[in-house]
Structure 1
């Protein structure tokens, strides 16, 4: 099973969408999705053309350089308005409901991306203390943690033993709180994503609190550009109990700033 972050999902899904042939999809849904690609209002705030080259024949994760170029294009345009995203999702659901119910990959992916567009777009554009993109930093750190773990080890145990400086970072705090704040104001946001349950989210909160201290998910995005040393020194006195990570086994581990999604 292949996991990627929601934060990277927006980039990859949009690239896939921009180059898709729309096979095995109803005519009504195909027409609607094709129309979206040419919609001037959407293209004014989301660069389909600029990120389409991310799609590769191998389906492998794009390089950091490719992700940076995609993020530059996304963050270089104004954010799509809530009203535009909401109306677009309503139109997609109306035209593609049968395809979404049948779990057509393209239709489902577009629906999920529209649902989580706002916090994902915000998180893509967070920068770290060196001017790099937070989500690229977090992705690289997570891959390193996973690759250094014993083969077949439960991810929960892997992250329980991960260095605190790889998990409890200003970037991850900004991303985590952005998603959780969105969930608070949009409690049904994850209801259509069947792989993630409310219990998974609660477990993720407990895990991050145990690893990083109670102030890590306090609802404050904070300053993602703050240096790691300064951030760590400020949180040094917070209680950190890695056993939370073991006690709260998660089917989807929310580490490095977001909950994992499966496609």
Structure 2
């Protein structure tokens, strides 16, 4: 159980934070323990210096030592000595957690020790990510052809996450409070950065990855497939790449039931400012004005009905019928192009 707590935290953070700066690989078989955690247990032999007893036991016994060929944060990059381009360096979560304040370590332990954590966070679902996360070059390779490479990796993870019950709002709020109260001095630690982001946006993340289309495929994968298949823009408008491709895309390619469910889930969450999410985005350099511009862009492309706050059921909505009905709603009142000016004015007023 003790080792499971640390493994749980590592897998949960790594699984939902794969866009972070890396992760270590380990060799050997992870040992299991049946001794329960004991509150206030005295230090044990082999306890890691400066850590609370329970976390020390996890760190000293819960994981096998890193493989010999793994580069950690404290080790110089061998390629740097040879004048080569430094190779990707995995982060060592044990060292990162060791560097946390005792109050922050206690906060993390309180989160993973909560019985609800194991009910709504299926740790075994993240096991397929271990080989990917252990290889610093795996994610860049996956991004070379994301529509082909990402679904086989994340599909089983989504299956496990979506089969488990959703964590309660109270449980999420309690976890976020524990992080905010216990880790004030550690907010720059990458573990805490990932944990705070994951906990803050847990609800829309979980809902988004679990939406499915009429083919019973995950909406995220449908969107990924459509976006990566968009033709190149005819000329450079903003970046000459993905943003311009989206700007010039046919509405039917991006104004789908899946994307309506996704964007309304996200904006409903932000509109309610759940977990002070808007303030948190501002701290990351994403101001409220940026969100309003995003709404406007989506409205101009898909119509303001697309952002009516209704998530809908994409698995029960045929994309062809959905697009046709939306187009009819936009032109029905007047039957001519004058509606475009009215819609634009209405959308700007409604969205801003």
* Range into which the TM-score falls when normalised by the shorter chain: 0.7 to 0.9
Match of 1:133 in 2: 218
CA distance in 1, matches of 2:19, 2:175: 18
Gaps of 5+ in 2: 1-12, 25-91, 143-148, 332-338
RMSD: 3.1
Shift of residue 77 of structure 1? 0.7
Secondary structure of the equivalent of 1:127? coil
TM-score by length of structure 1 reads 0.77
CA distance in 1, matches of 2:220, 2:184: 31
Structure 2 counterpart of 1:12, from 16, 19, 33 = 16
Task: Verify: 1:23 aligned to 2:73, yes or no.
Answer: no
Structure 1 counterpart of 2:183, from 96, 100, 106 = 96
Shift of residue 32 of structure 1? 3.4
Match of 2:245 in 1: 158
Structure 2 counterpart of 1:47, from 85, 100, 122 = 122
Match of 2:169 in 1: 82
Match of 1:183 in 2: 270
Match of 1:115 in 2: 200
Shift of residue 59 of structure 1? 5.0
CA contact under 8 A between 2:101 and 2:186: conserved in structure 1?
A: no
CA distance in 2, matches of 1:120, 1:33: 20
TM-score by length of structure 2 reads 0.59
CA distance in 1, matches of 2:211, 2:15: 15
Greater alpha carbon shift after TM alignment, 201-210 vs 47-56: 47-56
Secondary structure of the equivalent of 1:49? helix
CA distance in 2, matches of 1:38, 1:136: 33
CA contact under 8 A between 2:101 and 2:183: conserved in structure 1?
A: no
Gaps of 5+ in 1: 1-8, 249-263
Bigger Cα Rg: 2
CA contact under 8 A between 1:14 and 1:48: conserved in structure 2?
A: no
Aligned residue-pair number? 232
CA contact under 8 A between 2:208 and 2:220: conserved in structure 1?
A: yes
Q: Which protein has greater RCO, CA pairs closer than 8 Å, 6+ apart?
A: 1
Greater alpha carbon shift after TM alignment, 154-163 vs 26-35: 26-35
Shift of residue 222 of structure 1? 1.7
Greater alpha carbon shift after TM alignment, 150-159 vs 83-92: 150-159
